[in-house]
């Protein structure tokens, strides 16, 4: 799918990237189409590899150009051109900004204006609603007071959007409820400490929210960095839940208040998470998992597990350990 929210710079070639990274140019200066993650990259896209946990992905990727560190070059398939750098994520930050120059900013959309209700006759709007360009709003929707929907956002049919909501860089399915104060589609908290200052990581992904979803009051859902942040069909989020960039939450999950998801965590279907739990980044939680309130999840959890505590462990072991400590 073409990115509807960030305009990509055209005619970028491999030597443009090498010069940007202070590396030696090569004789054959071929075009590079885009920057992608390993699993979505195509032949002419550039990707990156910075952890051995993604070994299976590097074996299967269609990309023929990968940025990586010296310690990983021995596992890169020979068909892939390796661009070797000291700091992979910092290099990717620079390259992403090259392709998408405006992605580092998260400024207010100055193209928004007061709603022209004649353009959306089949939906209802409160006072002081601001709408950007190319916004799509389905039938029978209700948009609350002081809500801002920025350019290119798409909202399905039968949706209810509360008061004081901000939505940008998002695609929202049918029959979804978003309660008061939610902020959806802002950039994530991605940065790298450099020698002189912190470097912001560009976020060119979107937030994709399925159908029949409920987003509680004051939720914050960050857009993805290279991939999208996804909330599956039928999932309910309680108030004050934070979802970081690239998080994937499956279908029919129940997430209670003040749960926090760090970036790139993956949550299966029908997962239940108790209040004030924390989910570390880049981990996978299987289907039908139940996590007790106040837990800290720092490693993968297989399907059909019940866990609790910090670090989260099998709930029987947790109860046994705490009984012994009484």
4 backbone dihedrals φ, ψ, rounded to 5°: -85, -5
Same fold, 14-99 and 113-324: no
The correct answer on CATH 3.40.1390.10 for the domain covering 14-99 is yes
Contact between 258 and 240 (Cβ < 8 Å): yes
- Does this model's pTM top 0.85? My answer is yes
What was the pLDDT predicted at 211?
A: 98
What was the pLDDT predicted at 1?
A: 59
**Span 35-73, pLDDT tens digits:** 999 999 999 999 999 988 889 999 999 999 999 999 999
Candidate list 145, 242, 245, 282, residue with the active-site label: 245
3-state secondary structure of 18: helix
**Span 181-237, pLDDT tens digits:** 999 999 988 887 777 888 888 999 999 999 999 999 999 999 999 899 999 999 999
What was the pLDDT predicted at 3?
A: 74
d(Cα 52, Cα 116) in Å, to the nearest integer? 52
What was the pLDDT predicted at 197?
A: 84
d(Cα 124, Cα 139) in Å, to the nearest integer? 9
**113-324 belongs to which CATH class?**
mainly beta
d(Cα 132, Cα 147) in Å, to the nearest integer? 11
**Residue 33 scores a pLDDT above 70:** yes
Domain range annotation of the chain: 14-99, 113-324
DSSP state at residue 21: T
What was the pLDDT predicted at 185?
A: 95
Task: Supply the mean pLDDT for the chain.
Answer: 93
- The candidate with the shortest Cα–Cα distance to 130, out of 158, 103, 151, is 151
What was the pLDDT predicted at 53?
A: 85
Cα torsion 94, 205, 187, 110: sign: positive
Is 145 catalytic? The answer is no
**Span 111-169, pLDDT tens digits:** 888 887 778 888 999 999 999 998 999 999 999 999 999 999 999 999 999 999 999 99
What was the pLDDT predicted at 200?
A: 85
Q: What is the mean pLDDT of residues 23-34?
A: 92
d(Cα 120, Cα 129) in Å, to the nearest integer? 12
**Span 270-297, pLDDT tens digits:** 999 999 999 999 999 999 999 999 999 9
Across-strand partners of 133? none
């Amino acid at each position: 799918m073409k990115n509807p929210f960030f305009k990509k710079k055209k005619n970028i070639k491999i030597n443009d990237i090498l010069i940007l990274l202070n590396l030696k140019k090569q004789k054959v200066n071929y075009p590079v189409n885009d920057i992608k993650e390993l699993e979505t990259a195509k032949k002419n896209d550039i990707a990156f590899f910075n952890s051995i946990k993604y070994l299976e992905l590097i074996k299967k990727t269609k990309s023929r150009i990968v940025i990586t560190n010296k310690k990983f070059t021995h596992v890169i398939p020979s068909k892939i051109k390796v661009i070797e750098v000291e700091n992979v994520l910092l290099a990717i930050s620079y390259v992403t900004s090259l392709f998408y120059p405006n992605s580092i900013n998260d400024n207010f959309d100055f193209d928004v204006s007061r709603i022209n209700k004649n353009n959306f006759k089949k939906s209802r709007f409160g006072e002081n609603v601001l709408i950007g360009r190319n916004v799509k709003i389905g039938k029978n929707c209700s948009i609350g007071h002081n809500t801002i929907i920025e350019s290119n956002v798409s909202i399905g049919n039968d949706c209810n959007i509360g008061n004081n909501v901000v939505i940008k860089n998002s695609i929202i399915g049918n029959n979804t409820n978003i309660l008061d104060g939610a902020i959806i589609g802002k950039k994530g908290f991605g940065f790298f400490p450099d020698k002189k200052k912190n470097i912001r990581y560009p976020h060119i992904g979107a937030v994709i929210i399925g159908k029949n979803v409920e987003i509680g009051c004051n939720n914050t859902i960050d857009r993805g960095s290279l991939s999208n942040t996804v909330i599956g069909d039928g999932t309910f989020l309680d108030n004050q839940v934070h979802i970081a960039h690239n998080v994937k939450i499956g279908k029919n999950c129940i997430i209670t208040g003040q749960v926090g998801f760090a970036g790139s965590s993956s949550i299966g279907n029908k997962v239940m998470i108790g209040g004030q739990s924390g989910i570390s980044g880049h981990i996978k939680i299987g289907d039908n998992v139940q996590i007790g309130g106040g837990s800290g999840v720092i490693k993968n959890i297989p399907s059909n597990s019940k866990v609790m505590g910090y670090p989260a462990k099998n709930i029987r072991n947790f109860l046994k350990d705490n009984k012994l400590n009484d």
